[in-house]
Amino acid sequence: MEPTRSASLSKIAQSYERDGFVFPFRALTHGEAGAVRAEMEALERVVAESSEQVRTLYGAYPNMVVPWVDEIAHNPTIIDAVKAVLGPNVLLWNCSLFIKEPRTPDYVGWHQDLHYWGLSGSSEVTAWVAITPATVGNGCMRFVAGSHLKQVSHVDTDDQTNMLSRNQELAVEVDEADATEVVLEAGTFSLHHGNLFHASHPNRSDDRRIGLALRYITPDMSQSDAPKDYATLVAGDDPSGRFELLPRPRGVFHADDLAKAQEVYEAQYGIFFQDVENVA
Ligand code: NI
């Protein structure tokens, strides 16, 4: 299937309901994706020489402190696809850059995202945007079609090359032959359900594999493991009032944005984000 802006929204919803995922869709041109990578890598050099607070908050909440990350989270093509599966009211709950460096052993074990996030309900979808191409050789995601219909148990392991925070994996066997390889061109994205079994291989290539994972929810989700939670409204309204709505960033590492991100960090980390996948 060729990436397209014109895929009908009802077809997106049908595939997603049946398989728990749907891809690919194009959000950025090749040129735009290349520009994002260049901007990100320039920012990495700044971050490396910045305070520990900036390094921490860039890793935890890039969308809150860097406008171009926030812009991708509001990309109209992504939002239209997300609305096709979640409906008109959409919050961005969390966002992470996933980077696998060239020729590194780190992989992601089979898991379900919603198992560890303390969120009630299952109206969550991740849009995973390929900033570089994602290929079988550089460790693209792998999905098991139809596995999103129920939650299963997970176990912690002692495998340090598993990039998940507790090196966790599903407590059930996954037949590797059932996996769909989520090959994405730079600038395209996939959608996957929060209960979908997914994993990824190591990056065996000579270039970095860079993706941006955007986690969207409906306002009727709620946080069970913490007294308060935060999100950014990206479409429609939030009639529930269960989430404190976050402002959009004013500039790269603007002092007011860093202060807000620090507040969110202190409220969230150590409570339910202790189990969120590591940001490489
Ligand atoms: Ni995941």
| Tens digits of residue pLDDT in 43-80 | 999 999 999 999 999 999 999 999 999 999 999 999 99
- Dist. CA 171 → ligand 1 center (Å): 15
Q: Which domain holds residue 196?
A: 6-272
- Is 251 a member of any domain? yes
Distance (Å) from CA 66 to ligand 1 centroid: 23
Is the model's pLDDT at 277 over the cut of 60? no
Q: How confident is the model at residue 2 (pLDDT cuts 50, 70, 90)?
A: very low
Q: How far away, in angstroms, is 95 Cα from ligand 1 center?
A: 12
pLDDT band at 278 (very low <50, low <70, confident <90, very high): very low
Q: Find the range with the poorest average confidence among 102-106, 166-170, 233-237, 270-274.
A: 270-274
- The CA 198 to ligand 1 mean position distance, Å, reads 6
- Tally of domains in the chain: 1
Q: Band of the pLDDT at 167, cuts 50, 70, 90?
A: confident
Residue 161 located in a structural domain: yes
CA of 260 to the centre of ligand 1 (A): 26
Report CA(255)–ligand 1 centroid distance (Å): 31
Task: Report pLDDT digits (tens) over 243-266.
Answer: 999 999 999 999 999 999 999 998
**Cα of 153 from ligand 1 centre, angstroms:** 15
> Taking the C-alpha atoms of 60, 225, 260 and 242 in order, what is their torsion angle to the nearest 10 degrees?
130
In a domain, 250, yes or no: yes
The neighbouring-strand residues paired with 99 are: 210
Distance 193 CA to ligand 1 centre (A): 10
**Residue 188, in any domain of the structure:** yes
CA 111 / ligand 1 centre spacing (Å): 6
For residue 156, report the distance from its CA to the centre of ligand 1, in Å: 15
Mean pLDDT of 147-154: 86
Determine the average pLDDT of the residues in 83-100: 96
Taking residues 190-195, report their average pLDDT.
97
In a domain? residue 149? yes
Query: Could you tell me if residue 120 is inside a domain?
Result: yes
CATH number at residue 166: 2.60.120.620
Tell me the CA–centroid distance for residue 162 and ligand 1, in Å: 12
- Rounded distance, CA 248 to CA 152, Å? 36
> Looking at the domain assignment, is residue 278 inside a domain?
no
For the ranges 34-43, 82-91, 192-201, 262-271, which has the lowest average pLDDT?
262-271
In a domain? residue 235? yes
DSSP for 219-271 reads TT-EESSSS-EEEEEEES---S--EEEPPPP-STT-HHHHHHHHHHHHHHTTT
Residue 119 scores a pLDDT above 60: yes
The pLDDT, as a whole number, for residue 274 is 58
Residue 277 Cα to ligand 1 middle (Å): 7
